[in-house]
Structure 1
């Protein structure tokens, strides 16, 4: 059998597989759209669109024939369209939590462009939809349905679709002037995406700039930061995923959050931004080491009956907590008992002095030494030791 006959057999086998699985793929498409939209909305995002699709048989066959010996991994695909470019990293993190991601497949199309060029911008990767037999972290080979994920802004999506139809489906060579116009349009759309993020930040700042009688001025700059700073939102998602707890609204977080931000000395927006940039990595490690994943994350001892729940701003909370504890600042306004704060202080200083120490290993050591939840008595608290 020659190479051509072998290729035809491979193509026929792949087409037969496509036909067998088509009905299942179509059912999965609707489920994926609904599930991903629910997850993204639950994470606090408002402006987005989720669209899943099954590759047509004709398109599938063309791709197989181009490389018969290479697996087609995008029969099932989902596209996440964000109205604001600043939302894309957070949305990507949400989607990753639903999949077993092949990180080698991750591509940022914009990174492939020359520094002085503008063009197609999209983040793409392939992940597995677990079928129930396999969970992340198992030693066995992952099983499940492969799904290609694309994340891009609405403006980038419009541009790429038009460019694909006008440029790559054209029957003849396009004039050089058309190429120049495509490049110019891509540059303008990239600037428009940046402008939309800036507009959103400035509109929100204008809405919350004026102090109110209930402390709105302070709430304003902290609220603006946790709402619109991309690094803050990403850290919220990272900590939530690391602790594996639900994300949503938690009563009483505002007061507690403001107490630790004040203790850190971050009394203005710029101070908060600078402090967060300096201490966010320590805050992440402190949260992983200390935050409860079986009781209320903030007030474990004050309200031990509440279940754990993450919230928007959890990254700022633990970052400010870490900064205040390392600096030896007073946290008298916090509702966390003094004994528990003393424990957190020992852990924060240990992580600060040992930047290469594993947060998970530190968590294990801390759990063995910490006072049990709900039984902490400040009067008889015995300091713990990690070093």
Structure 2
């Protein structure tokens, strides 16, 4: 018996020593895998909240191979998660998109789908996730920069922000397994998990509804319908598709502005809605009536206050025009609420007031 125990200890220590020596390679693999996953997500135009990776630490490695009921002849080749990565996305249908991307880009050895709604009984809930055990495919493993990891496995987890929160909290409660949860608490956890699942479904529905609203707004504006209410979708569609934009851009350029592409973060549209509300505007046609005409003096006044050329996207030009109409009643503090720094807010407000006085 003592001999058997000594052999087990020797085996454990040998495995620990070997992994300690090779762990820097797994750390390198984890770092490269994170960069690769990020690049693949962006190439496939899949929005994500975070991509993270790690190599299993030595303590976790020891606990894993020393777990009762487990026996590994060669832990470094048998354990599938010495390298792990996690992709957190915003919407539940993006979990499927990322999973399909993983299928195309890696050699998938195993896929765990038990954390999907279809796998639960009708009275059960849990966190939803896709876990894939992968290796590099032949095309990538043959590249010199990946050659060192051609035999390495990795576990890639894919879940939504909502489900990641559920997983983190449930793990913090130390109830990783349903059977370990006291029966009095199990129903309460099921109820919470059900709400998380419903939230994921509702976020997808809201996203799709927003896309429909945006499409309808663009169709209305491009077809000449301007007597539509001012909303985030309609004002964005109008700003990017109005008949006067090219003329406004040329006026700004002649005054010293450099014009960029439209701001992808859409930061100016809530400001435009705020100004429109304060002006009592209700329809897109009322905004159109304000931006018509010569705005050169406004842009020249802002540049004069700024003191040099200023690079802005076209949506900022529309914002400046609307601000001119309410400049006498708008404050630096109100601009600050939308993220403008005090000095920059002072410049554009002063320029807008000066232009309004001259008009």
- TM normalised by structure 1 equals 0.48
Residue correspondences, number: 209
**Unaligned regions of 5+ residues in structure 1, if any?**
136-141, 217-387
- What is the deviation of 1:144? 2.0
Counterparts of 2:104 and 2:176, CA distance in 1: 36
1:7·1:68 contact (CA, 8 Å) conserved in 2?
Answer: no
Name 2:28's counterpart in structure 1. 27
Q: Does 1:53 align with 2:54?
A: yes
Give how far 1:88 is off: 1.1
Residue 4 of structure 1 deviates from its aligned partner by 3.5
What is the match of residue 188 of structure 1?
Answer: 195
Measure, in 2, the Cα distance between the counterparts of 1:11 and 1:41. 42
Distance change (3 Å), C-alpha of 1:61 and 1:118? same
Aligned 1:202-217 pairs, distance under 5 A: 202-210=209-217, 211=219
- Kindly indicate whether the alpha-carbon contact (under 8 Å) linking 1:79 and 1:151 is maintained by their aligned counterparts in 2: yes
Instruction: Provide the residue aligned with 1:92 in structure 2.
Output: 99
Tell me the C-alpha RMSD between the 2 structures. Answer: 3.1
Structure 1 residues 78 and 215 mapped into 2: Cα distance closer, same or farther (>3 Å)?
A: farther
Residue in structure 2 matched with residue 148 of structure 1 by the alignment: 155
Structure with the higher helix share, 1 or 2:
2
Name the SS of the counterpart of 1:117 in structure 2. coil
Aligned in 2, Cα 1:42/1:143: closer, same or farther, shift over 3 Å?
closer
What is the DSSP-based 3-state SS (H/G/I as helix, E as strand, rest coil) of the residue aligned with 2:81? Answer: coil
Residue number in structure 2 paired with 1:164? 171
> Which consecutive unaligned segments of at least 5 residues does structure 2 have?
143-148, 225-359
Partners of 1:143 and 1:22 lie apart in 2 by 15
1:130 Cα deviation from its structure 2 partner: 5.1
Distance 1:106 1:180 in 2: 25
Task: Give the match's secondary structure for 2:134.
Answer: strand
Q: TM-score, normalised by structure 2?
A: 0.52
- Shift, 1:114, TM fit: 2.1
Structure 1 partner of 2:16:
15
Using the alignment, how far apart are the partners of 2:43 and 2:223 within structure 1? 27
Within 5 Å, give how 1:36-51 maps onto structure 2.
Answer: 36-51=37-52
The answer (yes or no) to whether the contact 2:31–2:53 under 8 Å persists in 1 is yes
The alignment partner of 1:97 has SS state of helix
Confirm or deny: 8 A CA contact 2:47 2:89 kept in the other structure.
Answer: no
CA distance in 2, matches of 1:213, 1:156: 38
Separation in structure 2 between the aligned mates of residue 6 and residue 168 of structure 1, nearest angstrom: 34
In structure 2, distance between residues paired with 1:91 and 1:201: 19
Task: Please tell me whether residue 77 in structure 1 is matched to residue 84 in structure 2.
Answer: yes
Alpha-carbon deviation of 1:17? Answer: 2.3
The correspondence for 2:205, drawn from 198, 206, 225, is 198
